[in-house]
A and B are shown apart, each in its own frame.
Chain A
Amino acid sequence: EDQVTQSPEALRLQEGESSSLNCSYTVSGLRGLFWYRQDPGKGPEFLFTLYSAGEEKEKERLKATLTKKESFLHITAPKPEDSATYLCAVRRDNYGQNFVFGPGTRLSVLP
């Protein structure tokens, strides 16, 4: 059964304290792994797409990496405005738009 898990469930960091979030997946026919950020009361906001092992993407303090079994979202020197829930999702085929989401990691960055 296709499955996406994320760890930790919640993470509290001090401002400037770098860390990583994990997304592990078991899916047949991966056609992309996606990272989203979700603020309270809002819909998920797209961050990155990764397609193949070894690929990396960066945006400001965030860097996403991908292996054959998992993806990491590295947060370097986070700021309080980085506090949000981070979701990852995998797409199983190109046409059917069949996405499976993980439960998310709730990140709090304290000033």
Chain B
Amino acid sequence: ETGVTQTPRHLVMGMTNKKSLKCEQHLGHNAMYWYKQSAKKPLELMFVYNFKEQTENNSVPSRFSPECPNSSHLFLHLHTLQPEDSALYLCASSQVGNDSPLHFGNGTRLTVT
């Protein structure tokens, strides 16, 4: 596996379900990110982890709960979501301290019914 991998690729869940999104990066980076991409809107930063420590939380509702057990893995735990949370959730990684761009996975397409 190379780059940034996300699972599952597609997820349909009801509003009362609990599910988790998984991200793994194989680039040796030390920062990981969750972004939300909705139709016709710019990418919205949700969470940033530098060296496994959360450094940003962009006023994200508590029904989204991130977890970063090490610098290669990132999770997004979901519970009691709303239909407006349906979107493409993208994970990215970068190397903090140099000019590294973000490297993205292919995302999880989430549909909340």
Contact = CB atoms under 8 A, between A and B. Distances in A.
Interface in B95-112: 96-97, 99, 101-107, 109
B33 A97 contact: yes
B46 interface: no
A49 B101 contact: yes
A99 B97 contact: no
Contacts of A44: 43, 90, 102, 104
Interface in B61-81: none
Interface in B1-22: 4, 6
B1 to A, nearest CB: 15
Main secondary structure of the interface of A (DSSP, over half): loop
A46 B104 CA distance: 8
Contacts of A94: 97
A34 B101 contact: yes
B37 to A, nearest CB: 9
Interface string B42-61: 11010010100001100000
A102 B31 CA distance: 22
Quick one: which of A42, A87, A97 has the most chain B CB within 10 A?
A97
Interface residues of B, number: 27
Q: Which of A42, A44, A95, A99 has the most CB of B within 10 A?
A: A44
Given A43-B105, A97-B31, A103 B42 contact: yes
Contacts of B97: 94-95
Contact of A43 (B31, B42, B48, B104): B104
A46 B105 contact: no
Contacts of B6: 43
A95 B99 contact: no
The 7 closest A-B pairs by CB, nearest first: A43-B104, A101-B43, A101-B42, A43-B106, A46-B101, A103-B42, A42-B106
